[in-house]
Amino acid sequence: MHTSVVARRSWLTLCLSLVAASAFAQAQPATKPFEPQVGQQGKDVVWVPTADALVEKMLDLAKVTAEDFVMDLGSGDGRTVIAAAKRGAKALGVEYNPDMVALSKRNAATAGMTARATFVEADLFKTDLSQATVITMFLLPSINLELRPKILDLKPGTRIVSNTFTMGDWEPDDRFRVENARCSSWCEALFWLVPAKVEGTWRLPQGDLTLKQSYQMITGTLGSGESATPIGEGKLQGAEITFIAGGSHYTGRVNGSSMQGTVASAGSTNKWGATRVGS
């Protein structure tokens, strides 16, 4: 009889404990899903979303296709990565805030883009950028400058697009401002092609091509000694090189320590090539 009473009391105590726990749980406010706030502090910058209209223009300037691997540095809520994925590209967002990474993954799932849009929680300064064909970003000028040496070491022709902020004295190859109701602030896209590194001396049948380089702009001479001719209109577009020397128009492509192309002069076009012989 005593054992039965103890058992009933234990059962009653358990039931009361479960009821109390359930009542406590119901009394607690439901945890709200994370919602980013414009201006919230991040590791390197505050978060401000890029207007969707400018996202599309940035991807337009970079001519993003299904052949591209797009990396968005400081990817926030994931909108640029998802927009690139919708164009068929493989896209990766690099974001330091784990809540933003989780939000981005949910947004990608909602958009049906999880197969092509991925996100990692990482420091953009410690991230390998070498596989990207396109890099997008909305960072501060100081951050862009800190990243610039790493970007300039990427494969020539890698496409870089920034929302509004510059790369210091590295002038953009193109820019576009969205001027309509779909973008009210931070509405300019700036575009760069990573130039090949050509500064130094190159050997041609016509003589030495000696080049000075400032990002995509080049100057120099073609020939030797007193017969050296200054070059004009020298420019790089990724690995593509153009310049004029002695009335001849040279176009070509840089491939490591060699150049190949055509030279147009006096109505005729011929092939030319050069080999690097010094820096």
Window from 18-32, 34-48, 113-127 with minimum mean pLDDT: 18-32
* Number of folded domains that form the chain: 2
pLDDT at 266: 84
Name which of 137, 98, 91 is nearest 114 in CA terms: 91
Instruction: Examine the pLDDT at 277 and tell me if it is beyond 70.
Output: yes
Specify if 42 maps to a domain.
no
Contacts of residue 195, defined as CB under 8 A and 6 or more positions apart, other chains included, come to 152, 156, 213, 215, 216, 236, 237, 238
Residue 111 lies in a domain: yes
> Would the CA dihedral through 114, 117, 122, 127 be positive or negative?
positive
pLDDT above 90 covers what percent of the chain?
74
Position 210 scores a pLDDT of 95
Are 155 and 261 part of one and the same domain?
Answer: no
CA distance 163 to 56: 11
Q: Which two tokens stand for residue 4?
A: 């039965």
pLDDT at residue 94 in the model: 97
- Rounded distance, CA 167 to CA 261, Å? 30
pTM of the model: 0.84
Q: How far apart are CA 169 and CA 49, in angstroms?
A: 26
What's the whole-number average pLDDT of the chain?
Answer: 88
pLDDT reported for residue 20: 53
One domain for residues 244 and 114: no
Residues with Cβ < 8 Å from 276, sequence gap 6 or more?
200, 201, 202, 203, 257, 258
In terms of domains, do 94 and 167 share one? yes
Helix (H) or strand (E) holding 11: helix 2-27
For 51-80, how does the pLDDT look when each residue is reduced to its tens digit (9 = 90+)? 999 999 999 999 999 999 999 999 999 999
Nearest to 222 by CA among 193, 265, 256, 189: 265
> Model confidence at 205, in pLDDT bands (50, 70, 90)?
confident
pLDDT digits (tens, 9 = 90+) for 185-196: 899 999 999 999
Residue 17 has pLDDT above 60, yes or no: no
Q: What confidence tens digit (pLDDT) does each residue in 213-229 have?
A: 999 999 999 987 778 89
Higher pLDDT, 255 or 36: 255
Evaluate whether residue 26 is within a structural domain. Answer: no
Within a domain: residue 44? no
Q: Is residue 37 part of a domain?
A: no
Domain that includes residue 173, residue range: 52-193
User: Which CATH number do you get for residue 107?
Assistant: 3.40.50.150
Per-residue pLDDT, 5: 47
* C-beta separation of 271 from 262 below 8 A: yes
Residue 86 within any structural domain of the chain = yes
- Listing DSSP states for 60-103 in one string gives HHTT--TT-EEEEES-TTSHHHHHHHHTT-EEEEEES-HHHHHH
